Chains A and B, each alone.
Chain A
C-alpha cells in the first residue's frame, strides 16, 4: 500500500509541473499589456518600463516562468496589482470558504444521491424510479448558478431563516465548538449560510450520483452471488445493503473525485451569485479588474487542490478495493 501511495505521489510531479506551465502561459497569452492597462492611457514610456521591470515582464518568457515557479514553490505568488496585497494571503484567507462550500455540496450530493439511486434500482420501474430518473436528467441539465438565482428569489426571499448573501463563520469551526463547548449556535449559523449555495452546486452532482448508483446497483443485483445470497434465504435488506451496495459503490467513489473538480468550478460562478467570500469570487473579480497575479494564483491553487483531492480519492479507492494496488 505504501508503495502504491509513493508511486501515485511521484506521478503527481509531472502533472503539477504541466499545470504550472499551462497556468503561466495562459496569462502570458493575453493580448493586452497588463502594465499599460493598469497605468491607463496617459502613462509615459518610462512609467511603463519601470513597472515592467518591477514585475519582471521585460525578461524572456522562460526566465519569467522559472522565477515565478521558484517563488510559487516557496509560497510566494506575487502581489495583487490592484490591491498591493500578497496573492498567497488573499487566497489563503478564502480557500477555507471555497473548500467548505465544495465539501458541503459533495455531502449533499452523496447523502441524497446514493439512497435515491439504491431505491430506484431496487424498485426498478416504480414511481420512485421514474421520478429519480427525471430528477437526474433535469439536475444534470440545470446550470448551478441559475439554480442559485432561483433559490435566492423563491426560497431565500421567502424564508426568513435563510440569508440571501455571504458567509458567517466556518462550519468546521462550528463543529469544533459543538464538540468542545457543547454549543450549536455557531454551527447552525454557518449551516444557514452555506445551505443554498451548496444545494445549487451539489444538485448537478447529485443527479450524476443517483444515476450512477442506480445503474451500478442494477448491474450488481443481476450477479450470481446476489442470487446465491438470496437463495440462502438471507433477508432482502441484508443482501441489498451488505452484499450489493459494497460492490456497487466502487464506481461511485471514482466519480466523487472527478466531480469534486466540477464542484470547485461550480463554486467559481455560484460564489459570485451568493457573494460567498471564496477563491472563485476572488478570481471573477480579478478578471474584471485584469489583476493577473490573482487570476494566475487562483487558477493554480484550484488545480492543485483538485489534483490532491483526486489523489486522496485514488488512495481511498485502493484501500477499499485491493485489486487496484497490484496493477
Chain B
C-alpha cells in the first residue's frame, strides 16, 4: 500500500478512474440537465462556461453536451468492465491450460491466438460486429475477443515459470488434482501481471468502444455513448466544433486514467522497470 501511494502514476490513475466510476454511478444526480431533452431553439449553443446555462454548449438538437457526456460515461465503463471481464475469464483459463498442460493443447491454443493477432485488432473488432450486427452486446463480445490473446500470453508465461517451482512439485507429491494445483496454487501467484494487463485492457476497451460507436456499430440510439456523440458532432464540425471536442476529451481522460493505473501497477509489481 505504501508503495502504491508513493507511485505517482498509480495514484493519478486511481483518482481519474475513481472520478469515472462515481460519475457513472451518480450520473443522473450529477447531470445538470436532462440529457434527452431536445429544444430546437437552443441548438448549437457554444460552451457558456461554469456560470452559463449550458456549460459545454448544446448539440444539433439543443441537448446539453455536458449532461450527455456525464450519462455517456455509463456505457463506456460498462462495456470496458464486461469486455475486460470476459477476456479475463477466457484468457486466464486458456493461458493457464496452455502453460500447464503444454504439448499439443498449448500449440493449438497459441496458434488460435496468433490467428487473432494476425489481424489489425480494430479491424477484426469492426469485422466481428459487422457480421454479428451492430449493438452494445456484440461490441463487447468483439472487444473481448480481440483482447483475449494478451491475457492468454501473460498467463501462459507466468504459469510456465511457476510450474517448475518447488511448491508445485510438493502439491503434486501430495496427490492434489491438476485443476486444484492450477487454480488454487499456481494462478493465485500470478495475479499481479494479469491485473496489469486487465487494467490496460480497460483503457483499450474504452477507445475501441468509442471507435465502434463512431462508425455506428456500437451503442444504438437512444443509448448515449461518447463515440456516437462524436459521429453526430462530425456532421456539424464547421459550425459547432465544440460538440466533437468534449466527448473526445472524456475518452482521452478516462483512457489515460486506466493507462496510468496500469503503468503504476506494473512499476509496483516489477521494481526493475521503475522509471522506464
Contacts and interface: CB of A to CB of B under 8 A. Distances in A.
B209 to A, nearest CB: 10
Contact of B248 (A149, A283, A287): A149
Given A32-B133, A157-B238, A261-B120, A149 B244 contact: yes
19 contacts: A14-B111, A15-B115, A18-B115, A138-B256, A140-B259, A143-B207, A143-B252, A145-B230, A146-B244, A149-B244, A153-B238, A153-B244, A215-B276, A261-B121, A269-B211, A269-B214, A284-B215, A287-B130, A302-B119
- List the 9 closest pairs (A to B, CB-CB), nearest first: A265-B120, A265-B122, A146-B248, A141-B255, A215-B276, A153-B241, A141-B256, A261-B120, A30-B131
A258 B31 CA distance: 41
Residues of A contacting B: mostly: helix
B89 interface: no
A167 to B, nearest CB: 19
B244 A150 contact: yes
Given A29-B131, A143-B207, A149-B237, A302 B118 contact: no
A306 B120 contact: yes
Interface of A: 14-15, 18-19, 22-23, 26-27, 29-32, 137-138, 140-143, 145-146, 149-150, 152-154, 157, 214-215, 218-219, 261-262, 264-266, 268-269, 272-273, 283-284, 287-288, 295, 299, 302-303, 306-307
Given A141-B203, A150-B244, A299 B118 contact: no
B128 interface: yes
Contacts of A29: 131-132
Contacts of A30: 131-133
Contacts of B203: 141
B114 interface: yes
B258 to A, nearest CB: 8
B230 A146 contact: yes
Contact of A149 (B211, B216, B230, B259): B230
Given A303-B118, A303-B120, 5 more contacts: A30-B131, A142-B255, A145-B214, A153-B237, A299-B124
Interface in B88-133: 111, 114-115, 118-124, 126-128, 130-133
B251 A146 contact: yes
Nearest to B241: A153
Contacts of B214: 145, 269
B144 interface: no
Contacts of A307: 118
Q: Which of A15, A140, A152 has the most CB of B within 10 A?
A: A140
B260 to A, nearest CB: 7
A143 B127 contact: no
A142 B203 CA distance: 10
Contact of B211 (A19, A145, A215, A287): A145
Given A26-B131, A30-B132, A137-B259, A268 B122 contact: yes
Given A22-B115, A137-B260, A306-B120, A31 B133 contact: yes
From B111, B127, B256, B275, name the one whose CB has the most chain A CB atoms within 10 angstroms.
B127
A119 to B, nearest CB: 16
B259 A141 contact: yes
Given A138-B256, A264-B120, A295 B215 contact: no
A261 B233 CA distance: 28
Contact of A143 (B111, B118, B119, B248): B248
B30 interface: no
A116 B238 CA distance: 34
Nearest to A266: B122
A26 B241 contact: no
A12 B203 CA distance: 32
